Structure 1
Amino acid sequence: MTLDDRAAPAIEAARPRTANPGLLALGMDGFAGFVDRMDQMRRALADLGELGDATVAKGAGRLSAQLDLVEPSITFIGQVKAGKTSLINAMTGWPGLLPADVNPWTSVVTSIHLAPSWATAAAGASFRFFDPQEWDRLIEKGGRMGELASRAGAEEELEKVRRQIERMREKSKGRLGRRFELLLGQEHRYGVFDEALVERYVCLGDDLDDDEGEPFDMRGRFADITKSADLFVDHANVPFKLCLRDTPGVNDTFLMREQITIGAIRDSRLCVLVLSAHQALSTVDMALIRLISAVKAREAVIFVNRIDELSDPASQTAEIRDSIRATLKKHEGPADAPILFGSAFWGQHALEGPLAGMTEASRRALVMLAGNETPTAEDAWTLSGIPALYRVLGERVAEGVGGEAIDRIARSVGNLARGVTAAQRSIGLAVTGGHAVQVDTARITRDLAQIEQRATAALETAFAAQHEAFCVRLDRSHHNFLDRATAALIEHLEKYGEGTVWSYEPTGLRILLRSACQVFGKRMQGDARAILDATAAEVAASYRAAFGLNEALAIEPPAPPRLNPPVAIAQTIALDVKGTWWRRWWLRRRGYRSFAAEFYKMIREETSPILDELSRDHAQTIRADLLRTLATFLDEQREIVTALAEKTAPTAEDLGVALGYQERADRLRQIESAVATMRQEAA
């Protein structure tokens, strides 16, 4: 469903609004290496396209389109009131773009797609609503928290959750009236947007008794049921497409936002944890530690915001850094993740113009760090930490998702160049030998189909074997944890009796499950790499046979795809919740056997869905990515071979071109060599 733009008031085009746009370029130098590789790749593709061959031009155009689609995404998670949204607004160059004072009910993942002015990107905004199944799960079961309380037998907590859900549902129906049910599962799209439109979908307004007479642009009108928002913004200083993803908090009543945030992290390669300088990283933030522990350390960055509120930021930041490192180490988090400090508030004031509007305390902190009684907007922007954050993200993009995307395209460029070279040699042989090379195109097509069939079967066989072993490891880890936890419970009961409430930390289970996922992923990638290597060798053999070549011809296989982080491990389970309901569960038990048996059952049922998700969704995603990588590679080769095979019975024009085939072949080798050198330098 699309909402017609005419229903909305006139809105200006979506682009940053700032008095000091030049500041946005500071920090973008961190992307220079990656941008240089993109430019080199574009030049190589342009050179391929200029060889005057329709087949080459088609392949180069397809690869150029892939390069234009590269859009690294960065997911921001954080504490409540840490200033995460304000930080994203400042990084976007549009203070006030996203409402920073959203109601705790809001569960919207907002993706801001930044694009340079030359890029062709879908403009405007789109907002997607929860589908009926997601809403029913919340209403009927109370979300994850309701399911948890139900399994624990915490009737009072469950009833409390149900009452809160009922109030939320009534408020939602009050806002939307009879349209409420119809909107679920739908989408609204706009060609342009502004702050007021964004607030309509992601920020809750006041409660209303009667919805019917309200204006269309009411603040927060659709926020109850909005699941995700995508905003497309022109950004003159961004050198390529970049997505900044704002997530809801993870500590809501129903654990609904936790599930949404977990999904956002799964889809990104970089995660920024935003903390408040006042809160640092306390034990109440275990959900955040669990989330960043699920991703690789090189894919996590910690940004401590609001240092403008510290009395002595220069010395206090060192203490905060040490505290964060110690907390991460204690709780098995990524202790070596980079920790940056800054102030979105300073960044916002630097962008908007005069610094005189700052609070006295904030200005005093800025003066202290700047070492200057009259700091400039550039000083404030630099000390905001945003340029430093962009530089760190630039390094991570170059070595991670961005670098991998360029390497994937570089492999395809090399293969395309080698394929064209093979055809040129074939035509050259026809010229010098006075005969045409006849190729059975149908046979080539059959050969490639058989190669794909064998490779697909090999991948499926390897996956089935590794998946079976993975499930065994998961089950073993699960039972070992339950046995140890139950033994610890019995030991507690024997030592302290039933009057002292016991608790148990589930970190050990998460470590075991994460290890099982790592072993599965590493072994599956090893098997896939061997299969892809063998497939590329078979394709190369088909090239040699098709074009009558005796010399060696190498086709480079694709790299196995990156493994998504097993973020399901991070979701809250019963043992993470140290609330009053746990005490009530404990006090209702009678007898050691009752404690042990009921505890074992409750935690088994509570953690089994995590294992199910890992063995099913996580594993099947890996399988699908591997099969897609294989299919894409062979589709690419099929396109090259079949198109070039048609030229191996040269026409008069082909023969005329072929007289200069050596010059073209030399140029192709130069392109191939340039791409190979670029990859070596990047490595």
Structure 2
Amino acid sequence: MSENQRRELIRVAEDLKGLSNEETRQFISRIVADLTDLKPSIAFVGQIKAGKSRLINGFTGQAEFLPSDVNPWTTVITDMHFGHPSGRTRGAEFHFFDNRQWQSLIAEGEELRNMFPDDEDSYKREMIEEQVDAMKARAKLRLGMSYKDLLGQHHDLENLTTDDLARYVCAGDDPTDDGNHDPGSDRGLYSDITRKAEVYFDIGHFPFPLTVTDTPGVNDPLLIREEISRQYLKESDFFVVVLSAHQALSRADLKLFRLMQALELGQIVVFINRVDELGGGAEDAVKVRADVIDGLDKALGNSDIDVLMGSAQWAHYALTGDDTGVNHDHVLAWLRAHPEQMKQYLDGVEEIKQGPGPISREGVLRFAAMIASGLPDLRRHVTSALTHGPRDEQLRMAWQHLDSFAKGELERSRAHLRAIEEEISGKPESEDDNDKTLAGLRAKVADKTSEIIGGMDEVLANLRGVMDDTVAEAVSDVVRGPNGDSPLLAKGGETELNFGPLRDSMRELVQGATQVIRQRMLSELYAIDMQSNAALRALPGWQDQTDNRMNTSAVRWFRPDTTALTRGITVELRVTWLSRLISRKSVVTRAENMIVQEFEMIGDDLVDTARSDLLERLNTVLDHYMALLAGHLESRSGSSETNAKAEAQEAYNNARRVADELDTVFGADAANETLPEAAE
């Protein structure tokens, strides 16, 4: 769905609230809040010196916003918000560390390093702690007495200048270096305590609101920067992994990809930057791309990650006119080697010719450079993936709920109008009777809900027991080794323990148990639906509504969250600490006990998360259903107003308008489109 459709859904939902009862209005308000906050995020990640900052400048159209010299940043994540839900389009907020966040940074980094350690990880924690202490020391020198007061606070700037940005996110002079530090300069004044920068823009050339994030580089000599980047991975919906054409898919790159795969992150695209610096031009670039694709397949196994190519330098020239280091013959040669981009270029030139002004050679060259840069292709790729991915699913679910409410309101208003026009004889159902009926239905639903939750808890309790047994058996097999030859006692002082099969088994157990719960929930919800409708049909003069079926999609589409399985185990891959223990036997026993405990904790998190997610979805289904029933019963109340017919006609007209607008917003075929059913 497009951004206009999202906005129209919000507008129509607000109109629908004015036609609905209190219970329905509360549910619609939740939908409006979700639609308002729907803002996907894109993170650019990769090694230092891969050209991320200049690439982001080209991607966003903010030509020189992010400094793109070799090493301008400190430990700062920079979120660039385009079309933020708040409506803010300028200025920035800078959030400062506090002592708890610094310590959390160190602790969480330890977990990530334990997942895929290398030869240097044994001393990284100590180095990071030293670097955090150094940051604090520099900040105290720069900020003086105000240092402690600023921790945990934030600065909000209504307008943002380049100098402002430099004060918060650029390194600046080292105040501990008397020879180079300029006491009068405030460049980098707050940099050592700045945790994150949030900068606001209008929506620009993007089709919907989104956030573009610049992360410090991985494989950075300043390890704290790398830690910030790695820990931010879970915060984004889409990732652009930037590789340098000179050293594409190095050991550090592969380690980053494996970590992203283990964390089960969202969609990923690879962008090979700096193709303008390859001596063989497009021919060399084809070889580099093929090597990257082959390397990803071998390392990750059928990774199916799209790989694009281009040059941030060419995009920089296109935006600024600065052609330093740009060879125009190379740009045109690149276009000739890529027919699709050449077509974009030729079509664009024709469009420029139709414009009112004269065509300049400089303008045509800059346009050619932008197409060759690959940035327009990258923008289309990312926005298309986001449009047809989770964002589209969220919008469709919102539309289905709103459409259900709108049709229900239309049927209620039609029935009310018909009843008045036909002057139905007999005493109308009183509000007290409606209240009693609704209260009875609520009591039945509450009783059934308790049964559903009780049944769910029984399955999850059994899951905990089976999972604990599975953990104990699998850990014992791995730690004690085949034939009792524990790999922990092998020569060399360190070893690798493979718990991949155990993680797979735990994932299958959770998926199997939650599928059983999901099927039982659907069966019980169907029973609630049938029983409630039977009770309504028993009411005098009751007429079935077209929308009185329960919408169980939130439960049907449930999939368990298994991200806890990506958590590192303290002794999973490195056990050099065991050499400090007294006996060889205690090495194996203690390691086995510790690993079992940690996997049991992961199992508990899996079960607790599944329970809370299932309960939330169950409540969503029932809240929506009870709102519909309340609306149906409300429509049975009679009216003693002299202008009852006019009011009923107006209510019907408004309901008809809202229902028609919803159909228009989502398209002619929307009513026949549904999200995929969960696998049975």
Task: State TM-score, norm by structure 1.
Answer: 0.74
Q: Secondary structure at 1:82's aligned position in 2?
A: coil
Residue equivalent to 2:333: 368
* Residue number in structure 2 paired with 1:22: none
Whichever residue aligns with residue 370 of structure 1, its letter is: L
* 1:88 alignment counterpart: 56
State the AA in 2 paired with 1:465. Answer: V
Alignment partner, residue 428 of structure 2: 436
Q: Label 1:66 to 1:298 Cα distance change in 2 as closer, same or farther (>3 A).
A: closer
The whole-number CA distance in structure 1 between the counterparts of 2:266 and 2:116 is: 36
The farther-off stretch of 630-639 and 191-200 is 630-639
In structure 2, the CA distance between the partners of 1:526 and 1:70, relative to structure 1 (3 Å rule), is farther
Residues in 1 aligned to 2:216 and 2:458: alpha-carbon distance in whole angstroms: 37
Match status 1:197 vs 2:190: no
Kindly report which structure 2 residues correspond to 1:236-635, keeping only aligned pairs within 5 A, or say none: 236-251=204-219, 260-261=228-229, 264-294=232-262, 299-332=267-300, 335-352=303-320, 354=321, 356-360=323-327, 363=328, 365-371=330-336, 376-428=365-417, 430-431=419-420, 432=422, 433-434=424-425, 435-440=427-432, 442-443=435-436, 444=438, 447-448=441-442, 451=445, 454-455=448-449, 458-459=452-453, 461-462=455-456, 465-466=459-460, 469=463, 472-473=466-467, 476=470, 480=474, 483-484=477-478, 487=481, 498=491, 549-551=542-544, 553-560=548-555, 566=563, 569=566, 594=584, 598=587, 612=601, 615-616=604-605, 620-632=608-620, 634-635=622-623
Q: 1:74 to 1:46 in 2, by over 3 A?
A: same
C-alpha contact 2:79 2:213 (8 A) present in aligned 1: yes
Following TM superposition, by how much is the alpha carbon of 1:45 offset from its aligned partner in structure 2, in angstroms? 5.1
Match in the other structure for 1:656: 646
Distance 1:396 1:131, change over 3 A: same
Equivalent residue, structure 1, for 2:140: 173
Please say if residues 99 and 199 of structure 1, whose CA atoms lie closer than 8 Å, have aligned partners that are also in contact.
no
- AA aligned to 2:398 is I
Separation in 2 of the partners of 1:257 and 1:470? 39
CA distance, structure 2, for counterparts of residue 129 and residue 547 of structure 1: 65
Change (3 A) 1:148 1:334: closer
Which amino acid letter does the alignment assign opposite residue 303 of structure 2?
A
Q: 1:631 to 1:55 in 2, by over 3 A?
A: closer
Alignment partners' CA distance in 2, 1:194 and 1:563: 45
Q: Counterparts of 2:238 and 2:163 in 1: how far apart (Å)?
A: 29
- AA partner of residue 458 (structure 1): I
Q: Deviations over 1:90-136 (max 9, x none)?
A: 222113323445859833332211118x9834753222223332324
Note closer, same or farther for the CA distance 1:542–1:241 as it changes in structure 2 (3 Å cut).
Answer: farther
How far apart are the structure 2 equivalents of 1:490 and 1:159? 36
Distance change >3 Å, CA 169–CA 498, structure 1 → 2: same
- 1:67 is matched by which residue type in structure 2? L
Distance 1:366 1:408, change over 3 A: same
In 2, Cα distance between the equivalents of 1:110 and 1:528? 43
Q: Shift of residue 369 of structure 1?
A: 0.2
% of aligned pairs identical?
26
Deviation of the 1:222 alpha carbon: 2.5
SS state of the match for residue 551, structure 2? Answer: coil
Check 1:465–1:187 CA distance in 2 against 1; reply closer, same or farther (3 A cut).
farther
1:511–1:49 CA distance, 2 compared to 1 (3 A): closer
Matches within 5 A, 1:14-163: 34-35=2-3, 37-38=5-6, 41=9, 66-101=34-69, 106-115=74-83, 120-121=87-88, 123-136=90-103, 163=130
Q: Deviations 1:19-72 (Å, cap 9, x if unpaired)?
A: xxxxxxxxxxxxxx5347547746865885898999999987875564343212
Give the C-alpha shift of residue 508 in structure 1.
5.9
Residue 348 (structure 2) aligns with: none
For residue 556 of structure 1, what is the amino acid of its counterpart? N
**Equivalences, count:** 635
State the one-letter code of the partner of 2:646.
G
Contact 1:428 1:658 (C-alpha < 8 Å) held by counterparts:
yes
Q: How far apart, CA to CA, are the structure 1 residues paired with 2:270 and 2:289?
A: 10
Of 665, 669, 677, which residue of structure 1 is paired with 2:669? 677
SS of the residue corresponding to residue 331 of structure 1 reads helix
Sort the Cα spacing of 1:630 and 1:185 in 2 relative to 1 into closer, same or farther, 3 A: farther
Does the aligned pair in 2 maintain the 1:129–1:183 contact within 8 Å? yes
Rg (Cα) greater in structure: 2
Unaligned stretches of 5+ residues in structure 1: 1-32
Deviation at 1:175, TM superposition (A): 2.7
- Counterparts in 2 of 1:43 and 1:485: CA distance versus 1, 3 Å: same
Q: Tell me which of 189, 197, 200 is aligned to 1:221.
A: 189
- For 1:566, give the aligned amino acid: T
Equivalent position amino acid for 1:192 in 2: N
C-alpha offsets along residues 186-225 of structure 1, whole Å, 9 cap, x if unaligned? 222222223332332333222114999956x822222223
Query: TM-score, normalising length from structure 2?
Result: 0.75
Give 1:379 deviation, angstroms: 1.9
Structure 2 unaligned blocks of 5 or more: 337-341, 343-360, 676-680
The answer on whether the counterparts of 1:130 and 1:184 sit within 8 Å (CA) in structure 2 is yes
**Structure 2 SS opposite 1:95:** coil
User: C-alpha deviations, 1:155-190, integer Å up to 9, x for none?
Assistant: 977665554444343223323333333333222222
